[in-house]
Structure 1
Amino acid sequence: MSTRIFVKNLPKDATQDKLVSHIKKSCPTADVTDCQLKYTRDGIFRRFAFVGFNTHEEAEQAQAKLNGTFMKTTKILVDLAADIGDASIRAWSKYSPHNQPKATTSKTTQKDTAAEDTKPARTGFVVKMKGLSGFYNEKSIRDFFKPIKLSSIRIPKSAQKKPMGVAFVEFPSTKEMEQGMGRNKNFINGKKIFLKKSADAAAPTVKPVAPAPWELKSKSSTGQEVESISESGRLFVRNLWFGVTEDELEGLFGKFGPLAEVTLPVDPLTKKVKGFAHIVFVFPEHALKAFTDLDYTSLHGRLLHILPGRETSGDDAEENEKSSFKKKKAAQQKANSGSAYNWNALFLGANAVADAMAKKYNTAKSDILDDESKSSIGVRMALGETQIVSETRQFLVSNGVALDSFSQAAGERSKTVILVKNLPAGVEGEELRGIFSKHGTVNRVLMPPSGITAIVEYLEPSEARKGFMKLNFSKFRSIPLYLEWAPMGVFVNPAQPSNKASSSREDTEEKGKEGGDAEDKEEEEEAEDEKQKEKAVEKNDEEVKMEENNNEEDEESEEEPEDDTTIFVKNLNFDTTNENLAEHFKKFGNIHSSTVAKKKDAKRPGELLSMGYGFVQFMKKADAKEALKHLQNSVLDDHNLELKMSNRTTPQVKSRKKQGETKQKSTKILVRNIPFEAKRREIEELFKVFGELKFVRLPKKLGGTGPHRGFAFVDFLTKQDAKRAFNALCHSTHLYGRRLVLEWAEAEESLEELRKKTAKHFSDDGPKKKVSRMSLKNELDN
């Protein structure tokens, strides 16, 4: 569907501003994304133009309202622009090279043509005049050279039809040209004139007409462009609309194959798209297919121009060859830092834990790390880490962070939110904001009280990617920063753009001088914020309880949809929501997901606009086929839907099973991943903080010799104590550098259950079936 219109029969003095203003009068709500008036190479206006719009509906509306209207006294004609390469379209303009008469070959025709052309042949003896000003024309130039004979005079003019201060004078022979050069530095209108020989300007060679874009596309795919794309898999896309988003480009190019990278550079000052993008495919053949199909197609009313992308410079690779092993490893880590693997979201370094504990309890760090104390140093560090993690979790939840999103190991990652880990103790939020702001505008920085882990959100994906690549594994206070892309939906509510980074201390002092009323207002706002945080914590606690109570329902909901169950829905009403779309399809079977594709609203930052299409995924393939069969051309919100099976496979995200997800079965906890240097006494010391213990068992290998087997059973006296210990230690507790993994152990079987199991095991025929009286009687009769 075309998003461009073709406007012809424009007035001779038409300009882009005048044409756009005329369009806005008839279509005030339409977004004009492109306006191109066409000229010849000599600057002659061809009196037609192409105008692009954001959507096909806007282009149709403009065509209907503008066709037959008047610009001044000229009636313009408007039609939807055809796609490039349409064979039914014929060049109608007299300036079109395809409408020029073909060269004649017969002798008679050549004679007739020569007879009609009375202009003398070019000689090639030309002098360029410079310094002309005021009023001048051919007559004044001939008077300047009198009595020398001249062949022709050419006075170039600008697009505004004004003289440009130069002229080209042609002489019939070398003799006249030399005589003409003798007039160098003479005057016209009181201005000194400079003459210079310019033989090239006498008979300007006619430049070959450049082939049309669709002709370039139809050429054989053996050129340098095709070879470059087929080797690198990189595309450079330009002439993009300034409101396009990375998600739109991913949706457009992702149809041809998996994408490795999509980069949409943004101007650092205006925060608007620069108009070009870099696309990298995983497989080069997919890039070649995208280049062939999408080059010179329209997107938001603008024709995409696709070129081969440039390979990254090999300087880094050469430097790595000469560098040390340590530098090579760091470079490799940085190159792989964009991978989707998930580290521990609440990871805390041992040194930072010791610093935080020393600061919290106002003691020396050496006292915490004292190995001569009766208690184990490993247990002290583990308990300290557990306390910091608990405080960090509470802070994040109260500030609108969805901690459950971090449990998705293979989930989709955010493009603007970065998780910052391994920070030293005592880091302030403003210090971290200053570091990340060097690479783009930071929207918000969330720093827990411990200052060991933080969440940084950028406004633009391209700036976030730049900051991530520059700062990941870089040294901060002598230790490396560990960065990871946060999962999608890490924030419950999106934050509005913040001006906190640009505020200064002087502004704060001036606000403080405004009086007691302002202070009271700030106190009220702070109190209201505290209430909101408390509500968020309560809400999170309720959600946790609901998850524990409905654990079985959650397990059933993890069922995955079958393959080929996604339907691509076109021609959606812009007001249609995800819920309306699901409601329209749900009568044909269980729906896994329904999504209306959206993009950022360039006029209203922070809001989204529908793109007029979406996807509906069923759980079963048969249901999807039935829906496709019966709902084709069905009406939803006054729009006839166009349906087809989607070729794009939707990756299914499996949630990583959290340690606290299983239901509590007993008072016994199974502890895995215990370091081999840990003793039974240390395990007991770690867990008895949360309640009275029945026993701690650390199984050893057969024979009872050597180290333990790396796991233990911890049994509490009450279920409440066991649950308290489980909830505190399951998130991120390390003992001698290894993270403890907790699971609920099975409840011990009763004596009666053991007897039944033993009888079943040794019985030859298995459990006896109960025989009814009627069946026994029938058997005896027979």
Structure 2
Amino acid sequence: EEIQKALKRNHDYMVRGGRYIEVFRDENVRKAKPTQKGEGQPWQRRKKDDEEEEDLSESGRLFVRNLPYTSTEEDLEKLFSKYGPLSEIHFPIDSLTKKPKGFAFITYMIPEHAVKAFAEVDGQVFQGRMLHVLPSTVKKEEQETQDATGSSSYKKQKETRDKASSTSSHNWNTLFMGTNAIADAIAEKYNATKSQVFDHEGKGSVAVRVALGETQFVQSVRQFLIDNGVSLDSFSQAAGERSKTVILVKNLPAGTTVTEMEEVFGSYGSLGRVLLPEGGITAIVEFLEPTEAKCAFMKLAYSKFHHVPLYLEWAPMGVFTCPPPEKKQPDTSEEEGNARLSTEAERALKEVMEEEEEEEEESIPGCTLFVKNLNFATTEETLKETFSKVGAVRSCTISKKTDKSGTLFSMGFGFVEFKKPEHAQKALKKLQSCIVLSCDPPSCWFTRPAVTSSRKKQAIKKQKSSKILVRNIPFQATVREIRELFSTFGELKTVRLPKKMVGTGSHRGFGFVDFLTKQDAKKAFNALCHSTHLYGRRLVLEWADAEDTVEALRRKTAEHFHGNVVAMQRAEML
């Protein structure tokens, strides 16, 4: 219509008294289909059709553009979380400038919340810019293309499902090591072949052999992580918040090097540090940017590395006790740097050995203090830091209780154990009535606690005897294999696996291992409690009470279900 209107200006005068102009159509240009008014305006609010609403109600994924370059992922989370819980935020950044690209992808847990956010946020001014929100159908189109080609086999479908569930928090044991990688590492360390490791005709059980090898490598990995500033206590919090920059890489083949890890993960962004213990089975990779870490996690989860798939998991918050080292080294020679590093490593190893020797000693009476009137915000680390100024502290414990939602909070008192009685007496005189923190009641007394996960940290019992309760024992394991596994750490008194009903011939999945001495029992407990798998099942160890026999367990069960009847019978007997 506009072209026809312009052609009517042929032989018309632009200026009165001047020359006339000639207007004619250019035949060399392809004729474009006339568009309706308003279709070429991308920032005009469009009317949502039924197809877009249907796609958005199924995917729950939004594409947001025209974002300000000063915005962050936290700003987007604060803006879009008003309409419902978010499942994922993909906030791309430039690989060179490390600045946002101006668009993002928002995925909701419930698609209805995405429809509501699409209607409310589209056209809204955010930090001086008007946002443009569109339904994102990238994932759905990829799935339709794959289904149309028909090339997706069962194996590929399983890999797709595994990648989709890779971001969940259940995933793997932190110190998980694959059986195949353990066998390779054992063969390499002892200059043997893999067939000799799995030789079932040799002496001893193959399952016990692999379990002992895993235990040995787990201990070396733990020591390596401690020496490199990794807080192992953060891994025990099952329901804790996960990091956005630190990734645990597991199921690596034996012999993996740090250079290979840097090449694989470094292609997705800038790395802070890469920790890989000797043997190369488990690694910790830290990124400098959360977006790059998320991209690497999505691309590399369950991907093939050499001949095995990579198992990735987000590390918990506070996994590192120190910031990543800077890339630029100080002006020192290489020989001086190596000498200094070796000196520091020897000093750290010596301190660890001294601490282990001191822990093996029996606690001396008169070393424990009872501390009350504590601020409810006081942590065990703060308490230990305060009392360590007086003397060497062995342990600090703050008594805690749980509310209805399962949240732990302090009860206002605790116990401090010193290594020497003299330090305890000194602390009793100097730190009496001292102020650690201003005493305020816990906030959970006045506010409604947030709903948290029902998964709790397992309560650790103190050693009372030389007997260990072993749970999660595989049903194909025998008493001989359990004895062979635990006899590596000391001489045993008894090994017992309670049976099921008479005639079944199978045990009940738990057992009792009693050592001759407490020292041997403690040595076995510390070695096997972290991550030891027997026939693919992780052994769970607890200190057994002195009366934990079958008769005692039956009596406890009877008291639990028939407490009043048992109490009346005891009263009649008295």
Interval containing the TM-score (normalised by the shorter chain)? 0.7 to 0.9
1:705-748 deviation digits (Å, cap 9, x = unpaired) = 52322221101122222122111101111122222121222222
- Mapped contact 1:446–1:456 kept (Cα < 8 A): yes
Matching residue of 2:32: none
TM-fit CA distance, 1:470: 2.0
Cα–Cα, structure 1 residues 170 and 264, in superposed 2: closer, same or farther, change >3 Å? Answer: farther
- Mapped contact 1:760–1:766 kept (Cα < 8 A): no
Matching residue of 1:430: 259
Asked if residue 523 in structure 1 is aligned to residue 339 in structure 2, the reply is: yes
Which residue, 247, 251, 271 being the options, matches 2:78?
A: 251
1:594-647 deviation digits (Å, cap 9, x = unpaired) = xxxxxxxxxxxxxxxxxxxxxxxxx13xx249xxxxxxxxxxxxxxxxxxxxxx
Equivalent-residue separation in structure 2 for 1:374 and 1:209 (angstroms): 80
Give the aligned length. 493
Which residue, 399, 420, 423 being the options, matches 1:553?
A: 399
Asked if residue 590 in structure 1 is aligned to residue 436 in structure 2, the reply is: no
Matching residue of 2:320: 491
TM-fit CA distance, 1:221: 7.4
Which residue, 14, 30, 33 being the options, matches 1:152?
A: 14
Percent identity of the aligned residues?
49
Matching residue of 1:657: 457
TM-fit CA distance, 1:697: 0.8
User: Counterpart of 2:74 in structure 1: which amino acid?
Assistant: D
Cα–Cα, structure 1 residues 483 and 257, in superposed 2: closer, same or farther, change >3 Å? Answer: same
SS in structure 2 opposite 1:260? strand
Cα–Cα, structure 1 residues 525 and 694, in superposed 2: closer, same or farther, change >3 Å? Answer: closer
- Mapped contact 1:124–1:170 kept (Cα < 8 A): no
Matching residue of 1:328: 157
Equivalent-residue separation in structure 1 for 2:19 and 2:134 (angstroms): 43
Equivalent-residue separation in structure 2 for 1:736 and 1:228 (angstroms): 46
> Greater relative contact order (Cα 8 A, min sep 6): structure 1 or 2?
2
Cα–Cα, structure 1 residues 234 and 536, in superposed 2: closer, same or farther, change >3 Å? Answer: farther
Matching residue of 1:695: 494
- Mapped contact 1:356–1:450 kept (Cα < 8 A): yes
TM normalised by structure 2 equals 0.73
TM-fit CA distance, 1:522: 4.2
> Structure 2: which 5+ residue stretches go unaligned?
29-34, 360-379, 385-392, 409-436
Which residue, 397, 405, 409 being the options, matches 2:226?
A: 397
Which residue, 276, 279, 293 being the options, matches 2:106?
A: 279
Equivalent-residue separation in structure 2 for 1:247 and 1:292 (angstroms): 21
Cα–Cα, structure 1 residues 697 and 460, in superposed 2: closer, same or farther, change >3 Å? Answer: same
1:4-403 superposed matches below 5 A: 124-126=7-9, 151-152=13-14, 171=21, 177=22, 229-319=56-146, 321-403=150-232
1:290-320 deviation digits (Å, cap 9, x = unpaired) = 3344344444443333333334243445535
SS in structure 2 opposite 1:379? helix
Equivalent-residue separation in structure 2 for 1:720 and 1:252 (angstroms): 57
Equivalent-residue separation in structure 1 for 2:78 and 2:407 (angstroms): 21
Cα–Cα, structure 1 residues 297 and 712, in superposed 2: closer, same or farther, change >3 Å? Answer: same
- Mapped contact 1:551–1:663 kept (Cα < 8 A): no
User: Counterpart of 1:319 in structure 2: which amino acid?
Assistant: Q
SS in structure 2 opposite 1:468? helix
TM-fit CA distance, 1:169: 7.5
Matching residue of 2:296: 467
- Mapped contact 2:273–2:325 kept (Cα < 8 A): no
Matching residue of 1:82: none
- Mapped contact 1:407–1:655 kept (Cα < 8 A): no
User: Counterpart of 2:72 in structure 1: which amino acid?
Assistant: T
TM-fit CA distance, 1:225: 6.3
- Mapped contact 1:425–1:451 kept (Cα < 8 A): yes
Matching residue of 2:431: none
Matching residue of 1:730: 529
Cα–Cα, structure 1 residues 688 and 241, in superposed 2: closer, same or farther, change >3 Å? Answer: same
User: Counterpart of 2:257 in structure 1: which amino acid?
Assistant: E
- Mapped contact 1:548–1:663 kept (Cα < 8 A): no
Equivalent-residue separation in structure 1 for 2:442 and 2:110 (angstroms): 35
SS in structure 2 opposite 1:464? helix
SS in structure 2 opposite 1:490? coil
Equivalent-residue separation in structure 2 for 1:151 and 1:553 (angstroms): 95
1:638-680 deviation digits (Å, cap 9, x = unpaired) = xxxxxxxxxxx9552556434x822223221111222233221
User: Counterpart of 1:360 in structure 2: which amino acid?
Assistant: K
Equivalent-residue separation in structure 2 for 1:212 and 1:196 (angstroms): 28
Matching residue of 1:143: none
- Mapped contact 2:238–2:457 kept (Cα < 8 A): no
Matching residue of 2:419: none
1:675-754 superposed matches below 5 A: 675-703=474-502, 706-748=505-547
- Mapped contact 1:256–1:290 kept (Cα < 8 A): yes
User: Counterpart of 2:470 in structure 1: which amino acid?
Assistant: V
SS in structure 1 opposite 2:399? helix
SS in structure 2 opposite 1:330? helix
- Mapped contact 1:376–1:682 kept (Cα < 8 A): yes
- Mapped contact 2:471–2:511 kept (Cα < 8 A): yes
Which residue, 550, 571, 574 being the options, matches 1:766?
A: 571
Cα–Cα, structure 1 residues 285 and 699, in superposed 2: closer, same or farther, change >3 Å? Answer: closer
SS in structure 1 opposite 2:139? coil
1:601-612 superposed matches below 5 A: none
1:459-510 deviation digits (Å, cap 9, x = unpaired) = 222222222222222222212111122222222233156479xxxxxxxxxx
User: Counterpart of 2:472 in structure 1: which amino acid?
Assistant: N
SS in structure 1 opposite 2:191? coil
Matching residue of 1:414: 243
SS in structure 2 opposite 1:314? helix
Cα–Cα, structure 1 residues 536 and 442, in superposed 2: closer, same or farther, change >3 Å? Answer: farther
User: Counterpart of 2:442 in structure 1: which amino acid?
Assistant: N
SS in structure 2 opposite 1:278? strand
Cα–Cα, structure 1 residues 196 and 490, in superposed 2: closer, same or farther, change >3 Å? Answer: same
1:63-83 deviation digits (Å, cap 9, x = unpaired) = xxxxxxxxxxxxxxxxxxxxx
Equivalent-residue separation in structure 2 for 1:326 and 1:123 (angstroms): 63
- Mapped contact 1:676–1:708 kept (Cα < 8 A): yes
- Mapped contact 2:405–2:454 kept (Cα < 8 A): no
